Chain A
Amino acid sequence: MPRDNRSDDEAMTRRRYVAGAGTVAAAGLAGCSGGGGGGSSDGESSGSDTEDGGSSETGGDDTGGTALEIVHWWTAGGEQDAYQALLDGFREAHPDVEVVDNPAPGGAGSAIDTVIQNRVIDGEPPSTFQIWPGQALTPYTDEGLLEPIGESVWDDEMRAAYLDGVLDLAQPAGNLVAVPINIHRLNNLFYNVSVLEDAGVDPTTIDGPQGLLEAMETVAAETDATPMAHQTQAPWSSLQLWESVFLGQTGVDPYQTLLEGDVASFEDEVRSALDTMAAYAEYFPEDAGSISWDQGNNDVIAGDAAFLHQGDWAAGQYGSAEDFAFGEDWDMVPFPGTDGVYHSVIDSFVFPTNNPSPEATEAFLNYAGSVDAQERFNPIKGSIPPRTDVPMDAFGDFLSRQFEDFQNSDAQPPTIAHGTGVAPAIQSSLSETFANFNGSLDVDQAYRGIRDAF
């Protein structure tokens, strides 16, 4: 009896199982296709949410092949105004093209990387996006994800207008894939004029990175101001400072060799630059680890700090400060030892493959490479145009001087901290190294980190 029963039970459960599974499948299908039921609509909405993270606004704004979708991270203050000025100019030139503006702000460009990478991997890139040229493009060029635009966009007139160093960055794999639109200088040493006068330091006579150390010593001894308004909360400022120190102590050619991965032959020079950095750290603000670079810069404006090493985007803050005039209250010299070097931070636009709007993208890239676009965009952005034939009327004294320096510069080396010099993976490893160095000031460990990063 029990045995019989059991076999019956078994048969029944098996049948039930099959029937149940069938019903589950049916119910599941019905639920999914219906989309009205509670459970399934939850699932669907969360599914499309995750997709939104990647493909952002294409779903909503998909208007066929004509709309031009631009992904960028210019959402703050002056940057946004500059971008709007660029768009206004483009709309005037091409009133027929609908522009879909799709900002991906945050993390100094790291948020946009995530968005773009996901979309490119999914085969749904935007029409064009903002990216650093040079080595930052290599993940895309390695997989052939950027259309060569040497023929369609880069005509002879445009090529002639760009300096060679910049042109090289637009062709990391040998063919032109990017249109640089602006250039920031990185090797700047900004200073508060009156603080240096109080300390009796003449910034124009500082001799090399070691000389800067002595100047900061004097500032610390003679005034109450912080000698250098550096931030160590995020590692990029220290990384770019180290680049400038290395350039100032060792020169451009060794720096270029270093970028190609040959760290070992410059071991002493790399260590020496790190030693100098470690010595500088004594003159950083007490709260360097808790502030952002612009908070540090406020101290320069307020007269509480003497020097700031930063890209020339820092000058935008001086422009908006009250009673803080260029030449009288603040000024800038090239980082000691780097005269004649225009250490370049560049933004560019590219033409991804699988492009949703090839014609509009081409029109936009052509426009981005024009005098009109760069004349509208750069004065507001606080950068100089990569084209050497842009009139300087709207740029103000400081940028005009920078532009002159640029045209007279001997070298325009790329930067590590801002992507043009090394591939993203190396850049990230170096950032990690300098995050550790900011805390420990351990030269040996930092050297190992730099060596292993390449």
Chain B
Amino acid sequence: MSSPSSAAPHRGDSDDAPDEQGGSEPATRTDGGAVVDGADEPAVATGQTKPSWLARVQQSSFLESLPFWGPPGLLVLLFVYGAIAWNFVISLTGWEGLGAPDYSSLSAEMYARLLSDPSFYAAFRNTLVLLVAFTALSLVVGLLVAILLDQQIRFENTVRTIYLLPMSLSFVVTAIFWSWMYNPRIGLVNEVLRSLGLGGLTQAWLSDPQFKLGAIVFALMWQFSGYCMVVYLAGLRAIPDAQYEAARIDGASTIRLYWRVIVPQLRASTMSAAVVLVVFALKAFDFLFVLFGVNPGESADILSVMMYRVAFDRIQWAYGSAVAMVLFAMALGVIGPYLFVQYRRGEL
């Protein structure tokens, strides 16, 4: 429908466009090879002699690719960013109950209420603890296992698969699995402690407020350190053997070798694994919901569970939206700097 109007301007700028096309196309296809260049040749030639608007539209990579990224782009804009924006607007209303939201009076009242809500503080603190402890522990364990696997041990593939397997399980499965593991009477954790003669250390892991969050962090780490291991293993394999040999010849001990030479080169792996882990920690909703329902108690409550509880259990939509915005800001606070660093380094 817009084609007749768009035809005129294109015809007017007939000089520049083909040059730009001809210049940019090969540059973007650095590894395209001779076949691609050859295929482009006739098109560029016709463009220079007499470019019809149709040909120009066909050539323009912007328009050519548009049908592919345009509709999904629009849908993402509408259903992701539009939904976030709408959620923010709802958080400024006082929407409760089953009526319609009142958009006429917007205020930050819900955010003020967050600041005076002790369960928000508990949930916020737990979310941060979970985030930091779970990410750090998973990275450390994953790195140690990756280094171990990198020593050309026997059954490497088997061990790697076994260790990565938990990650393929859903949170629902692992939550139920760990609720059995942690059962104070018949659970494996306490049974092992008892059989080692450490009966005094047995705990009601999932009901004692002291250990609740720690038990959850450990279970999540079990599930995701395998992922860190794979990421680190790939990073380790990318480091040339020569560096190990050089360090050995210089007389570096194993610990020194890894600490000074190898680990610093794994920064990219650490970054990408950490971002994924942080996002998983923010989304640990399923795990807690399966274990405790909407009320994990203040020692294990996290923001995503609180958001669900407030919105769907108490029908306080606006307040739930405010919690969701805090969660969104936290996620952005992690991903934003990461994307920025990547962009600065030209990796994006």
Contact of B9 among A15, A110, A287 (CB under 8 A): A15
- Assess the A435–B66 pair: CB atoms within 8 A: no
Q: Is B208 an interface residue (CB 8 A)?
A: yes
Chain B residues within 8 Å of A107, by CB: 293-294
- Assess the A43–B72 pair: CB atoms within 8 A: yes
Q: Is B151 an interface residue (CB 8 A)?
A: no
**Assembled-state Cα–Cα distance A121/B96 (Å):** 11
- Assess the B298–A436 pair: CB atoms within 8 A: yes
- Assess the B79–A47 pair: CB atoms within 8 A: yes
Q: A27-B67, A289-B204 are in contact. Are A432 and B187 (CB under 8 A)?
A: no
- Assess the B183–A31 pair: CB atoms within 8 A: no
Min Cβ gap B99→A in Å is: 5
Contact of B97 among A16, A18, A39, A139 (CB under 8 A): A139
Query: 8 Å CB contacts to A: which residues of B24-74?
Result: 62-63, 66-68, 70-72, 74
Q: Is A51 an interface residue (CB 8 A)?
A: no
Stretch at the interface among B229-237, B262-270, B306-314, B332-340: B306-314
Chain A residues within 8 Å of B186, by CB: 287
Q: A27-B71, A435-B297 are in contact. Are A110 and B312 (CB under 8 A)?
A: yes
Chain B residues within 8 Å of A200, by CB: none
Chain B residues within 8 Å of A233, by CB: 206-207, 292
**Assembled-state Cα–Cα distance A235/B298 (Å):** 12
* Interface residue tally for chain A (C-beta within 8 Å): 59
- Assess the B182–A139 pair: CB atoms within 8 A: no
Contact of A287 among B68, B184, B212 (CB under 8 A): B184
Contact of B72 among A18, A39, A232 (CB under 8 A): A39
Min Cβ gap A436→B in Å is: 5
Chain B residues within 8 Å of A19, by CB: 2, 5-6, 9-10
Q: Is A440 an interface residue (CB 8 A)?
A: yes
| Number of A-B contacts defined by CB within 8 Å | 162
Query: 8 Å CB contacts to B: which residues of A84-123?
Result: 107, 110, 113-114, 117, 120-121
- Assess the A435–B71 pair: CB atoms within 8 A: no
Chain B residues within 8 Å of A121, by CB: 98, 100
* Interface residue tally for chain B (C-beta within 8 Å): 53
Chain A residues within 8 Å of B209, by CB: 439-440
Residue among B63, B68, B74, B206 with the highest chain A CB neighbour number at 10 A: B74
Q: A9-B16, A23-B2, A285-B185 are in contact. Are A439 and B208 (CB under 8 A)?
A: yes
Q: A28-B71, A432-B295, A439-B207 are in contact. Are A424 and B6 (CB under 8 A)?
A: no
Contact of B212 among A12, A23, A142, A439 (CB under 8 A): A439
- Assess the B294–A110 pair: CB atoms within 8 A: yes
Q: Is A234 an interface residue (CB 8 A)?
A: yes
- Assess the A22–B207 pair: CB atoms within 8 A: no
- Assess the A143–B98 pair: CB atoms within 8 A: yes
Q: Is B192 an interface residue (CB 8 A)?
A: no
Q: A233-B292, A287-B186, A425-B315 are in contact. Are A26 and B208 (CB under 8 A)?
A: no
Q: Is B75 an interface residue (CB 8 A)?
A: yes
Q: Is B126 an interface residue (CB 8 A)?
A: no
Min Cβ gap B69→A in Å is: 8
Contact of A435 among B17, B62, B292 (CB under 8 A): B292
Known A233-B292, A234-B295, A432-B119; 15 more pairs at CB < 8 Å: A22-B1, A23-B6, A23-B66, A31-B67, A31-B70, A39-B71, A107-B293, A107-B294, A110-B313, A117-B315, A142-B97, A142-B98, A143-B98, A287-B184, A290-B204
Task: In the A-B complex, list the 9 residue pairs whose CB atoms are closest, starting with the nearest.
Answer: A289-B207, A22-B2, A31-B71, A19-B6, A435-B295, A15-B9, A43-B75, A439-B209, A425-B314
- 13 CB-based A-B contacts, threshold 8 Å: A12-B9, A19-B9, A19-B10, A24-B70, A26-B1, A107-B294, A143-B97, A232-B207, A290-B184, A290-B185, A290-B206, A435-B297, A438-B207
